[in-house]
Structure 1
Amino acid sequence: MDIAVKHRRTIIDRKELVETLDAMAAEKLGNAATRIRLVQIFKAALAAGRAECRRRLEATEATGRETAAGLCFLVDQIIRTLHDFTVGHFYPIVNPTAGERLDLIALGGYGRGELAPGSDVDLLFLLPYKETPWHEQVIEFMLYLLWDLGLKVGHATRSVDECIRLAKQDQTIRTAMLEMRWLWGDQLLYAELKDRFTRDVMAGSGTDFLQAKLTERDDRHRRMGDSRYTVEPNLKEGKGGLRDLHTLWWIAKYIHKVDDAADLVGKGVLSADEYRRFVKAENFLWDVRCHLHFVTGRPEERLTFDVQPELARRLGYTDHAGTKGVERFMKHYFLVAKDVGSLTRIFCANLEEQARGRSSRLKLLRIPKRAKKLEGFLQEGNRLSVIEDTQFELAPIDMIRLFEVAQRQELDIHPHALHLITRNLKRIDATLRADPEANRLFLDILTSRKDPETALRRLNEAGVFGRFVPDFGRVVAQMQYDMYHVYTVDEHTIRAIGVLHQIESGQLAEEHPVADEIVAKILSRRVLYCAVLIHDIAKGRGRDHSVVGAEIAERLCPRFGLTEAETETVAWLVRYHLAMSNTAFKRDITDPKTVQDFAELVQSPERLRLLIVLTVADIRAVGPGIWNGWKGQLLRTLYHETEPLLSGGHVTAGRDRLARGHAEVSARLKDWRQDEIEAFFRRCPDSYFLSTDAPSIERHARLIREADRDNAPLTLATRIDRFRAVTEVTLYTADHAGLFARVTGAISVCGASIVDAKIFTTHDGMALDVFTIQDAEGDPFDRPERLAKLSTTIEQVLMGSVRPREILEGRAAPSKRTMNFTVVPRVLIDNNASTRMTVIEVNGRDRPGLLFELTRALFGLNLTIRSAHIATYGERAVDVFYVSDLFGHKVRHGGKLKAIERRLIDVLTPPPAGSVTVVGAGPAGADTAARPRRAATR
C-alpha cells in the first residue's frame, strides 16, 4: 500500500528546516517572539511543500496517490521537526523518568500514509501511563502551533492501556488503530501498543469486526441515497466510493493480517486481475479526490456540477463523438464505482469460501449447513449459486437463467456465483443474444410480477444486462450533464420499471388513481414494459434519442419475441414518450385545439392508456421531488379530455359545451336569483366558461359579487389544494396594462413558484386572474405568514409603493452550479397550436428575475398574456405564453413576429459565464417532467 515519494527534498528539506530553526533559536528572541517566528517558518515550509505537490499533480508528474503520499510526507516532517524543537528548546527534560516518554502515532488515513489536500491529520499522543505536566505542556504547545498553521488536527492523548480498552469498546477507534503508524518519539511504546492490539483486540474478533464494518457500510449507503448512480456523487462516502475500498481493505487487514493489498493475491482472496482492478479503482478515485480538493480549496467530497467540467479538463477528458468531456469523465467514474461494487461481491464470496474450511469458532460468515439443488442450481439458505464452477463456461445461458430462477423463487444471488459471472461475461456473445430461449428468459425477468426492478438491477450490477442488450450497455453509467437528471440513464430506466411494477401491483393507487385504474385494461404488458426499458436507450448518441430509440425498438423487440404489431406499438411509444408531458405541462389543455391535436397524434385508446402509464413511470423515476400532485392533475385532465375523442366521440361544439357549463354553474348558485346568474354569464367571456371548471366558477362568482358589493378596489383570495400540491391565488381588480407582469413580480418577490396562470377580463373591464403557485420544494405555498406577505406585497406592487425589479435585481446571483451551464436561448412562436391565440415558448438558462423580465418584455411589445405555463428542467427555464395583440387577435405579421423573437432572445441571453453548452428546448431529451420554477430565483 506504501507509495514512494520521489524527490522528497523538493517538497520539504528537513535538514534545511532544522538549520533555520536552530539559527532562530540562537537569536534568543524570547518565548513570544520565538513562537511567532516559529509559525512563520513552518507556515512557509508547509505552503511551499503543498504548492510543490499541487504543481506535480497538475503537471501530471504525480498521480493522486503519489500526491497524497507527498502531502503525508510533508506533514510528517513538519510534526517531527516541531516535536524536536518543542522538547529541545521550550520544554527540555534532562533526566526523563519512565513515565515521561511520548510517542507520536498517525491514525486513520494519515496512518495509512495517504493525506488528501483537505484531509484531517489524526494524531495519537501515546503515553506509558497517565499524563504528566510535561506531557501536557508539550502536547498543548504542539497542537496550538499546528492549528496556527491551518492544519485540521484530530487528536487523542492516551496510555497504552486506555487505547486497548477503548478499541475493544468502539469499532471506530479500533478501525483507526488498525492503520496506526509510528511517527516519532519512543518507538518502544508503539511496539507495545501494536503487539497488544494484535493479541488483545484483533485475536478472535474477526467475525464481529466483519459484521460491524459491513453493517456500517450499509448504513452509510442508505444515508447517501443507496445508489452509486446519482449524478453528483460523493466520491468518498457514496456507494462505490473510496470508503467502500477502505472497508474492504480494513476487513482484509483485520482477517488476514496483511500490510499490503498485494498480499491478498497470495492468500487467494483476490486474483491478480481483481487486485489490478482494485488498484486501478483506488488510483482513479485518488486522482479525482486530490484535484477536487485543490480546485475547491476545501475538503469537498461531492462531485457537484460546478466542479465536474474542470475536473474533466484536468484529467484529460475532451469532447468528441457527440459526447461532452465531462460526460465521459463521469461515465468513467460510474464505471469505477460499479467495479468497486463487483470487487465487494467477489471479496465477500472469497471470505465465505475460505470460511467453509475453518472450524465453527472461526467462521466469518453464516454458512448454511444444508444445500439443495433447484432447477439446475444450488440453493444455500436464501441464496442461489452454481453446482459447478464451470457451469457458466459450459452453459452461458445459465447466466441469465440464474437471475430468472432467483427472481421467481424470491432468492438472492450468491456472491460466488456473481464472481463466476464476472469471469465469464465474454461468453455472452452474438450467439447467446440470438437464442430464443435466452430472450424468453430475459423478457420473463423484465415483465415478472415479482419485483423486476431488483432483478434487473442485479442483472446490471453483474454486467449481464449490458452484455445481453448492448444498446442498454451503451447507457450504463451514462450521465447527462444538467441539473435536472438525478440518476444515470441505466439507473433511471431500472427505477422507471420499478415504478411501473408498483403501479401495476396497486402500491401507488392513491397517488396515481387514473394509472392505477387503467393499467389493468392495457392489452399487452409486454409492450408497456419493453417501452419503459427502451424509452431512453438512445441517450448520448448525438441525435434525438426518441427517434433513435424507436429505431432500436424496431430491431430489438422482434429479438425479444414480440409480434410485429407489438413492436410497432413499442416503437411508437418510444418515439412519442415525451408527447403527453409536453402537451400537459407546456400547453393550455383547456383549449379544445390542444386536445384535438394530441388525440390526432395518439389515434387509439390503447396507445393513450400505455402512454399515460409510461409517462407517470418516467417522471417518477427522474428523481426525488420531481413528481407532485399538480403534474398528476394535468396528466389526468389531458387523459380524460382525450379519451372520449379516441373512443368514438367527437369534439363537443363550442355552443354545446358552453350551455352545459352554464347549466352546471346555475345548479351550484341555487341561492342566486336567475337574473343575477344571467348577468354574471353576460359579464364574463365565453372563453372563461370553456376553460374553467364549475366549482372554480362558483368560487369566482361569489368572490366577484362580494367585491362589487363592497366596492373593493382589489380582492385577493387563496385556496390550498393538497391533492394537486398547489395554492391557487385569485386576483380580482380593475384591468390595466402591465397588470400581469406586476403581479408576477410581486409573487417572485415573495419566493413563490408560479406553475400556471389564467388571465380573464370581464366585459366591463375587470381582471380576473388565477395564479397556481407552489413553494420552492414543489409543495403548496401554505404558511399563513407567507400568504399574508403575498397579499400585502401584491397590493403594494399594484399601488406602486414596491418595485419588484429593484428588489429582484438586488437578489443574489445564481449559484455557481447554475452559472456553470449555458443553455442556448430559443424562442418558438406557434400560430397553429391554438384557435384563438399565438403560443410563444421560450427556453433559456434560469436566473434571478427571468419570469418578471419576460412578462415585462411581452407587455412592452403590446401583447396581452391570456395564460402562462411556467417550469424549469434543472438549469433550463421553459415558459409558454398564450398571447394576443391589443385587439384580441393572433399575431400574424412577419415583422412583428421577428420583433417578438429578437426581444425575448435579448431577455434570455445571460451574461457570459460557464463553460458548458446545453442545446435543446425544454423537456425534449429531458425525461418528460419539469420542476416548477422557484420564482424568487428568477
Structure 2
Amino acid sequence: MISIPNQRAVIDRRKLAADIAAAVADNGARKARPQVVELLRTALERGRSELARRLLEAPSAGHACVNGQAFLIDQLIRVMHDHVIADLYPAPNRSSGERLTLIAVGGYGRGEMAPHSDVDIAFITPGKNTPWCEQVIEALLYYMWDLGLKVGHSSRSLDEMVRMARQDLTIRTAILEGRYLWGDQALYDQTSRRFWGEVVPGSEARFVAEKLVERNERHKRMGDSRYVVEPNIKDGKGGLRDLQTLYWIGKYIHRVRSAAELVDVGLLTTREYRTFRRAENFLLAVRCHLHMITKRAEDRLTFDLQREVAARMQFAERTGKSAVERFMQYYFLQARHVGHLTGVFLAHIDEEMAGKKKARGLLASFRPRARSLKGYKVFGGKIAAPSDDWFQKDPARLIEVFQLAEEHRYEVHPETMRMAARDVKAIDAKVREDPRANALFLQILTGRNDPETVLRWMNEAGVFGRFVPDFGKVGAQMQFDMYHHYTVDEHTIRAIGLLAKIERGELKDDHPLSSEIIPQLASRRVLYIATLLHDIAKGRGGDHSVLGAEIALELCPRLGLREEETELVSWLVRYHLLMSATAFKRDLSDPKTIHDFVGEVQSLERLRQLLVLTVVDIRAVGPGIWNSWKRQLLSDLYELAEEQLRLGHKRRGRAERIAAKKQRVAEMLGSDAHFIDALDDRFDDAYWIAEPEDIIALNLPHYAKAKQLEDQLSIHAHYYPARGATLVTVIGDDHPGLFYRIAGAIHLAGGNIIDARIHTTRVGKAVDNFLVQDPLGKPFSEETQLARLKTAIEDALAGKIELVPQLAKRPLPRARAASFEVRPRVEFDNKASGRFTVIEVGARDRPALLNRLARALFENQVMINSAHITNYGERAVDTFYVTDLLGGKIVSPDRLRRIETALLRAASDQFAAEAA
C-alpha cells in the first residue's frame, strides 16, 4: 500500500480511540455502545468525504483513492478491535486457544478498496473457536454492520484454512492476497507460513489452469470482448480483474509481494509494468467515480453514467468527438493495453509451466528443434523473431511476421509481440510507402485463413494503426449510442472476419445470397478494402461516408490497387449505407424505389459488392441486430435491382409482372386458386405489385371467407418465418384512423410493428398487413401470444380500450434511451415515388411512437399507404408513403409545414410526457 498523505485528515485513529475510551469511562462499555457507533460513523463519513474531495481534485488518481479507502477501513477496524477486547470482552489471562488474528483478504488485502466495495476479512484462530473468540468476532461484525459496511467474512481455524484453501480456488485466491490487519501477529505469521508451505507447493499448474478457466467463463458472461460499449470495469474483458489475475498468478508461482516485482521475475518488462500501473490507476479511478456517483458498488459503466464520469474526470469536447466519446476512447485504449499485457504474460507463464514438465522414458532426452521460415524461428505452433533487433533492421518485418502467421496458421510468440509493440514507431512514412510492406498487409487483410484474429493481434500491438494511420484514429473509438455494440476498430475487424467466413462457406445458412455472390466478384480485394475503410472517417465531424471515400482514393493506390479498383472502393465507402437505407426505409414495391437505387448503383459488380458489404456491416454491429427480416428485404432489393440491371429497357412491364405473380400465387393456392378470379374485381394492380406471393396466398382465402360470412372484421395472426416476424392481417370496413388504432393495439399487446402495408379494395374493404416482432426482435409464435394480438386489435377497433391513456402507461422497453439526446426530425420527399409523398420521421424510440405519428397524420387528413419502421438503438426512423384524401401527392408548402409541426410534436419528449 502506498503512503497516504496527511493521514489524519482522513482519520485520526488516536483521537477516535481516545473519544471512545472517554465515552466508555463516562457510561460503561455496554451503555456507551450508541455513542461508540456514532463516533465510528462520523469518522467513516468524514474520511469518505475527504477522499471524495481528493478524487475530485485529482480525478485520475485511482491508486490514491483505493489505498485511502483501505487505510480508512483499516483504522476503523483496528479501533473497533481494541475497544472490543479491552472494554467489552477483556481476558487478561487468555489461554493459548484464545487468540485471534484479523487478515484482510481479496482486494482489501491488496490495500485496494473502492468506496462501496465489500470489506473482506478472514478471522483465524489457532484451533476450534473458543467462546471468547466467537464473542469478539460477533461484536466486530455488529459494529461493521451498524456502520452500513458490506462485510465478506469467514471464521476458520488454522487447520480448516489449510484444508479449505487446498480444495477451493476462491478461498485460495483470497488468502493469497492476505494482509495482516490486526490482532495476533504471531498467529498471522503462522497462517502465512502454513499457506505457503502446505497449500501452494505442487499446486501451481492447477492454480494457473483454474484461474484461466475462471477468467474465460467471466469473459463469456460479460460479452467476451473488451470493446463492448457498456463495459464492466471490474469483471469485463480488459478490466481490473484481468490485471489482478496476472498479479495472482505471478504471486502464486514466484511469491512476488507487489506488481512491481513481476519485472524482477521476468514476467513483465519495465515498460509493460508502467503500462500495467497506468491502466490500473485509470480503471481504479473510474470505479471510484462510479461508486461515488451511484453510492453503491456499481462496476458497470452504463450509458447514463458515462457522461457523468467523463465530466468528473475532466474530459473535454473536441471537433467531431464529444467529451464522453473521448473518455470512452481512452478507456478502451487502456483495455487494449490490458489485453496485450495479458497475452504476453500468460504465454510466458504457459512456456514456463511447460518447461517444468519433465519428459520421461526413451524421449526424455529428445528436444525438437525450431525450424526456420524466411529467417523466423517456428516452434510449437509459434513464429518468433530470431533476434532482438530484427524489426529495427527492417521495419517491414513488423508486417511480414503477421502475414506469415496468417498464411501458416501460427501464433506470434509473446516475446515477438513484445518486440513488435516496442519497435512499432519504426513504421514511418517510408515504410508505409514500401510496396513490399503494402503487399504483405494486403495479403493479411485478404487472408484465406483467419485475417480477423491476426488483424486483432496487429491492432493490439499498435502495428495496424501505425501502418494505416487513418485506422489508428478510430482505434478504441466508441459511438455514444445504443445501436453500435463495439468500438469502430473492433466493429471493422469483426466485419472483415465475417467476410472471410462467408467466403469460406461457413455462413451459408445465415447468408445464402452473399455466399452465392462472393465467387462471382471481379475483385475480392476491393470488397475487403472497402470493408476496412467503410467507417474509417468516423469521429471527424463530417459525413464519414464522404470523408472515407476521399481516404480510399489516397490509400488504395498505396496498397497496389488499379485505378478502376480504387474508384470502386471509393464508391462503396461513399454509398455503404445506401442499400440498407433503401431496403429498410423505402417501399420496394414502388417501381421508383428500384429505379432510383439502380440509377445510383449502375452495374452488377457494384450491386454484388455492395450487398456483401452491407451484410457484414450490419452483422458486425452487435448481437441481435441481424435478423431474417433484414436478410429478406436486402435479398428482395438485390433481386429487383439485378433484374433491372440485367434486362435494362427490356425489363418486364407492369402487366407482365402482375400476370407472373398471379401464376405463382395460383400454384401456391392449389385447389383454392379460383379465389384469384373470384376476387379479381376487388384487388387492384397496386395490391398485386406491393405484396409478396406468399402473403397474397394467405390474404385471398381469408378475404373470401370473410366475404362469405359477411364478417365486419376478420383478424389473422401467423408466425411468418420467412421474415422472422409475425404476420398480422386485418380485414374490415375501411374508415379514417384505422391504421393508428391497429398500431396502438399491437403495441399494447407487446408488439413492435416493423413493416406495414395498407390496402383498400374497390368495394371499400381494408386489407392491412403488419409484420410484428417483440421488443427483442423476435416473432410471436405461441398461440397465446397470437390470441393476445387479435384480442387487442378487436377491442381497440370496437372502442373497448382507451388507447391514449393505456399506451402512456406502457414503459419503454429500453429506458436507457433517455440517456441520449435525439432531436425529432421530419423530411418530405416527393421525388422518391411516382404516386406518393414519402415522409421520414426520426425520433427517440419510445412507447407507441408509431401510433402517435399515425394519429397525427390522420388528424391532418393524410392517407397512409405503407409504413416502414427501422430502429437504431435509442433512435427510431419511421417512413410513411402517403397521399391526400383524393389520392394525390401533398405538395402545398403550407400543408407540409402543418404536417411537419404535428409530427414533430407527436415525436417530441414533451408530447410523451403530456400523454402520460
TM-score range, shorter chain: over 0.9
CA distance in 2, matches of 1:710, 1:649: 46
Q: Is the 8 A contact 2:37 2:143 kept in 1?
A: yes
Offset at residue 886 of structure 1 (A): 0.8
Residue number in structure 2 paired with 1:766: 765
Q: Is the 8 A contact 2:672 2:701 kept in 1?
A: no
Residue number in structure 1 paired with 2:335: 337
Equivalent runs, 1:466-477 vs 2, <5 Å: 466-477=465-476
Residue number in structure 2 paired with 1:275: 273
CA distance in 2, matches of 1:94, 1:349: 55
Offset at residue 708 of structure 1 (A): 1.7
Residue number in structure 2 paired with 1:654: 654
Secondary structure at 2:593's aligned position in 1?
Answer: helix
Identity of aligned pairs, percent?
Answer: 51
Residue number in structure 2 paired with 1:883: 882
Equivalent runs, 1:662-673 vs 2, <5 Å: 662-666=662-666, 671=671
Residue number in structure 1 paired with 2:701: 702
One-letter code aligned to 2:256: V
Offset at residue 722 of structure 1 (A): 2.1
Residue number in structure 2 paired with 1:16: 15
Distance 1:813 1:683, change over 3 A: closer
CA distance in 2, matches of 1:911, 1:803: 21
CA distance in 2, matches of 1:193, 1:311: 41
Q: Is the 8 A contact 1:509 1:516 kept in 2?
A: yes
Offset at residue 27 of structure 1 (A): 4.2
Q: Is the 8 A contact 2:717 2:726 kept in 1?
A: yes
CA distance in 1, matches of 2:55, 2:356: 46
Secondary structure at 1:396's aligned position in 2?
Answer: coil
Q: How big is each residue's C-alpha offset from its partner over 1:3-61, in whole Å with a ceiling of 9 and x where there is no partner?
A: 21122222222223223323332343784x54444433322322222122112212328
1:110 equivalenced with 2:108 (yes/no): yes
Residue number in structure 2 paired with 1:932: none
Residue number in structure 1 paired with 2:246: 248
Distance 1:139 1:696, change over 3 A: same
One-letter code aligned to 2:683: C
Offset at residue 238 of structure 1 (A): 1.4
Residue number in structure 2 paired with 1:892: 891
Residue number in structure 1 paired with 2:786: 787
Equivalent runs, 1:730-879 vs 2, <5 Å: 730-812=729-811, 817-879=816-878
Bigger relative CO (Cα 8 Å, ≥ 6 apart)? 1
1:548 equivalenced with 2:560 (yes/no): no
CA distance in 2, matches of 1:158, 1:368: 48
One-letter code aligned to 1:886: L
One-letter code aligned to 1:865: I
CA distance in 1, matches of 2:154, 2:73: 18
Q: Is the 8 A contact 2:55 2:65 kept in 1?
A: yes
Residue number in structure 1 paired with 2:712: 713
CA distance in 1, matches of 2:816, 2:59: 30
Q: Is the 8 A contact 1:233 1:304 kept in 2?
A: yes
Residue number in structure 1 paired with 2:479: 480
Residue number in structure 1 paired with 2:496: 497
Secondary structure at 2:745's aligned position in 1?
Answer: helix
Residue number in structure 1 paired with 2:144: 146
CA distance in 1, matches of 2:38, 2:814: 36
CA distance in 2, matches of 1:169, 1:835: 75
Q: Is the 8 A contact 1:669 1:677 kept in 2?
A: no
CA distance in 1, matches of 2:355, 2:863: 82
Residue number in structure 2 paired with 1:918: none
Q: How big is each residue's C-alpha offset from its partner over 1:822-876, in whole Å with a ceiling of 9 and x where there is no partner?
A: 1122111001111111100001112223222111111111101110011210111
CA distance in 2, matches of 1:324, 1:62: 19
Secondary structure at 2:699's aligned position in 1?
Answer: helix
Secondary structure at 2:535's aligned position in 1?
Answer: coil
Offset at residue 670 of structure 1 (A): 6.0
Offset at residue 679 of structure 1 (A): 4.7
One-letter code aligned to 1:42: L
Deviates more, 1:293-302 or 1:484-493: 293-302
Equivalent runs, 1:368-517 vs 2, <5 Å: 369-517=368-516
Q: Pairwise CA RMSD of aligned residues? A: 2.3
Residue number in structure 2 paired with 1:218: 216
One-letter code aligned to 1:792: T
CA distance in 2, matches of 1:669, 1:247: 64
1:625 equivalenced with 2:624 (yes/no): yes
Offset at residue 92 of structure 1 (A): 2.3
Residue number in structure 2 paired with 1:88: 86
Q: How big is each residue's C-alpha offset from its partner over 1:342-389, in whole Å with a ceiling of 9 and x where there is no partner?
A: 22234346557877998959xxxxx97431212221011111111122
1:520 equivalenced with 2:519 (yes/no): yes
Secondary structure at 2:190's aligned position in 1?
Answer: helix
Deviates more, 1:644-653 or 1:599-608: 644-653
Equivalent runs, 1:156-235 vs 2, <5 Å: 156-235=154-233
Q: Is the 8 A contact 1:608 1:639 kept in 2?
A: yes
Q: Is the 8 A contact 1:368 1:381 kept in 2?
A: no
TM-score when normalising by structure 2: 0.95
Secondary structure at 2:97's aligned position in 1?
Answer: helix
Deviates more, 1:267-276 or 1:178-187: 267-276
Offset at residue 430 of structure 1 (A): 1.1
Distance 1:349 1:450, change over 3 A: closer
Secondary structure at 2:821's aligned position in 1?
Answer: strand
CA distance in 1, matches of 2:779, 2:60: 53
Secondary structure at 2:27's aligned position in 1?
Answer: coil
Deviates more, 1:662-671 or 1:901-910: 662-671
Residue number in structure 2 paired with 1:130: 128
Offset at residue 270 of structure 1 (A): 3.0
Q: Is the 8 A contact 1:823 1:845 kept in 2?
A: yes
Aligned match for 2:284, one of 286, 295, 301: 286
Q: How big is each residue's C-alpha offset from its partner over 1:621-653, in whole Å with a ceiling of 9 and x where there is no partner?
A: 110000000000000101111101111334532
Distance 1:368 1:440, change over 3 A: farther
Distance 1:271 1:502, change over 3 A: closer
Deviates more, 1:530-539 or 1:166-175: 166-175
Deviates more, 1:166-175 or 1:786-795: 166-175
Offset at residue 696 of structure 1 (A): 2.1
Offset at residue 157 of structure 1 (A): 0.6
Equivalences, count: 909
CA distance in 2, matches of 1:352, 1:142: 43
CA distance in 1, matches of 2:812, 2:570: 44
One-letter code aligned to 1:443: L
CA distance in 1, matches of 2:688, 2:355: 80
One-letter code aligned to 2:752: S
Residue number in structure 2 paired with 1:923: none
CA distance in 2, matches of 1:34, 1:166: 39
One-letter code aligned to 1:656: E
Q: Is the 8 A contact 2:843 2:876 kept in 1?
A: yes
Distance 1:407 1:513, change over 3 A: same
CA distance in 1, matches of 2:823, 2:886: 33
Residue number in structure 2 paired with 1:917: none
CA distance in 2, matches of 1:12, 1:732: 75
TM-score when normalising by structure 1: 0.93
CA distance in 2, matches of 1:357, 1:723: 56
Deviates more, 1:459-468 or 1:20-29: 20-29
Secondary structure at 1:839's aligned position in 2?
Answer: strand
One-letter code aligned to 2:455: L
Residue number in structure 2 paired with 1:928: none
Secondary structure at 1:306's aligned position in 2?
Answer: helix
Q: Is the 8 A contact 1:368 1:380 kept in 2?
A: no
CA distance in 1, matches of 2:836, 2:625: 30
CA distance in 1, matches of 2:71, 2:692: 73
Residue number in structure 2 paired with 1:257: 255
Q: How big is each residue's C-alpha offset from its partner over 1:875-933, in whole Å with a ceiling of 9 and x where there is no partner?
A: 1111001111111111011110111112212222224999xxxxxxxxxxxxxxxxxxx
Offset at residue 214 of structure 1 (A): 3.1
Offset at residue 467 of structure 1 (A): 0.9
Aligned match for 1:101, one of 96, 99, 102: 99
